[in-house]
Amino acid sequence: MPTLWLKNPLAVHLGAEAPEEPARGGIVVDTDTGVIVELVGAGGQPSVPADEVFDASAHAITPGLINTHHHFYQTLTRAWPPVASSKLFTWLTTLYPVWARIDAEAMRLATTVAMAELLTTGTTTTSDHHYLFPAGGDVAIDTQVDVARELGMRAVLTRGSMSVGEDDGGLPPQHTVQDPDTILADSRRLVETYHERGEGAMIQIALAPCSPFSVSTTLMADSATLAADLDVRLHTHLAETLDEEEYCLTRFGLRTVDYLESVGWLTDRAWLAHGIHFDDAEIARLGAAGTAVSHCPSSNMRLASGIARAVELEEAGSPVGLGVDGSASNDSSNMVREVRQALYVQRLRYGAESVTTGRAWDWATRGSAAALGRADLGVIEVGRQADLALFRPEGLSFSGSHDVLTALLLCGVERADRVMVAGRWRVTDGQVVGLDTDALIARHHELARSLVEG
């Protein structure tokens, strides 16, 4: 088997409570199967000489970061002044008409920009929640599959949906919603066409009705039934704002977790975006069910939605991962920055001693992997997938720092130097392999301007 030895790294994150010593001499990867085959102790050598050696002595290595919630298409509406200081419902209703103009080219460009930015900030697996299919827009998840394959990135692409428009008491404009039969048929098509199973899967599909205020209870329940039939995961927004809680009480007579249970979603098949406004009893119920939560700290702060109770959710039994959320509510797809944000905002709620840098790294790796139902990702161990992020702690911001993995977050690393997915380099010297980034930015920016101008 062809092997690559990542030799003598500065540090290796093996877990919040795990010692680094088993891998201080490096990591050996089978570049054919894309699996980690050996951890080398300090001063050691691989048990079998490696075919290739990469000097990692200037790098800290973490498992590839895993993004559990995003809206790629929103890279086209970053920092748009009309919504720069809006809360969620106003933000949505102002942006829906703009997003409704997205076409196939816009979808491809937005997806490429989002995934490229994620890759260069250490992300090896991403999910995306795409729920906007405007009439005549020729927008499809198939485009996202193509881009993920071109960039060599793992992706859990969720077939989102909106079925309740303004005419029926929902938030979205009527021309942006679809009928349930169309949604369910396309969901089945995507799973049967693209969903890969087992260890090492590169493309997976999940079902993702958007939110309580944009889909019917019938569609929610039917999506849960279809997901169980096809054995795929479920994703939705829930408990993001107090406005949403009030909407659920008014429309359904239920709090958000009661609503979730009523439609068959209180299960370990589901992961929820945001999950901020849960009470103690609801956290216990979510934990008992194993329902996961994607914590999106930057978005939650940007829209002033609140602070998720991530530590309590995790301790109750809910897997907790991290998500950058859409680039119009975060304005960035920088995943390593999101780890730092999670560290700081959770310290505000729980204190510094409870929220260590190791715990924050774990949320972005093993916690996110668990949220996506992936036991093969998120940990540096023999037999796991060789998805790795290599960071260089260099420059003035790191001068005088001591513990390397701690410094990456506290001193604020912004980009990865190298990123490996399935044993192959996808980022080298901070650049996505094979991508003309300058040309991409120029066309994406041009299209973004025309989109908001109508």
Q: What is the pLDDT of residue 136?
A: 65
- pLDDT for position 157: 98
Q: How confident is the model at residue 285 (pLDDT cuts 50, 70, 90)?
A: very high
Secondary structure of residue 152 in the 3-state scheme: coil
Question: Check: CATH 3.20.20.70 for 3-63+384-432?
Answer: no
Among 2-6, 37-41, 87-91, the range scoring the smallest mean pLDDT is 87-91
User: 418 - beta bridge partners?
Assistant: 390
Q: Work out the pLDDT band at 1, boundaries 50, 70, 90.
A: confident
Q: What is the pLDDT of residue 355?
A: 98
End-to-end CA distance of the chain: give it in Å, rounded. 55
**What is the predicted pLDDT for the residue at 308?**
98
Q: 439 by DSSP, 3-state: which?
A: helix
- How long a stretch of residues is the chain? 454
Q: What band does 20 get if pLDDT is binned at 50, 70 and 90? A: confident
Q: pLDDT tens, 204-224?
A: 999 999 999 999 999 999 999
pLDDT single digits (tens) 61-117: 999 999 999 999 999 999 999 999 998 889 999 999 999 999 999 999 999 999 999
**Which residues are bridge partners to 36 per DSSP?**
29
Give the confidence band of 174 by pLDDT, cuts at 50, 70, 90: confident
pLDDT greater than 80 at residue 185: yes
Average pLDDT (300-320) is 97
Q: What is the pLDDT of residue 328?
A: 82
Confidence band of 171 (pLDDT split at 50, 70, 90): confident
Beta-carbon contacts of 324 under 8 Å, excluding residues fewer than 6 positions away, are: 67, 69, 70, 118, 296, 298, 299, 330, 332, 333, 334, 335, 338
The pLDDT of residue 137 is 66
- Which amino acid type is present at position 153? M
Helices (H) and strands (E) in the chain, counts: 15, 18
- Span(s) in the chain for CATH 3.20.20.140: 65-371
Token pair in block for residue 290: 């194993």
113-160, pLDDT tens digit by residue? Answer: 999 999 999 999 999 999 999 876 677 899 999 999 999 999 999 999
Give dist(CA 344, CA 363) in Å, integer. Answer: 13
Please tell me the predicted confidence (pLDDT) of residue 245.
93
pLDDT above 70 coverage of the chain, percent:
100
pLDDT value of residue 364: 98
Distance CA 299, CA 329 (A): 5
Confidence category of residue 176, pLDDT binned at 50, 70, 90: confident
Mean pLDDT of 339-355: 97
CATH number of the domain located at residue range(s) 65-371 in this protein: 3.20.20.140
Q: Within 13 Å and on the Cβ side, how many CA atoms surround 383?
A: 1
pLDDT single digits (tens) 257-278: 999 999 999 999 999 999 999 9
Q: Are strands 320-322 and 292-295 parallel, antiparallel or unpaired?
A: parallel
Provide Rg for the chain, Cα atoms.
21
What local confidence, expressed as pLDDT, does residue 170 receive?
87
| pLDDT tens-place string over residues 361-414 | 999 999 999 999 999 999 999 999 999 999 999 999 999 999 999 999 999 999
Average pLDDT of the chain? 96
Delimit the CATH 2.30.40.10 region(s) of the chain: 3-63+384-432
Please return the burial class of 230, using the count of CB atoms within 10 Å of its CB with bins 0-12, 13-18 and 19+: middle
Instruction: Assign 436 a pLDDT band (cuts: 50, 70, 90).
Output: very high
Measured CA distances, 332 to 55, 81, 173, 174, 448 (Å): 31, 16, 26, 29, 15
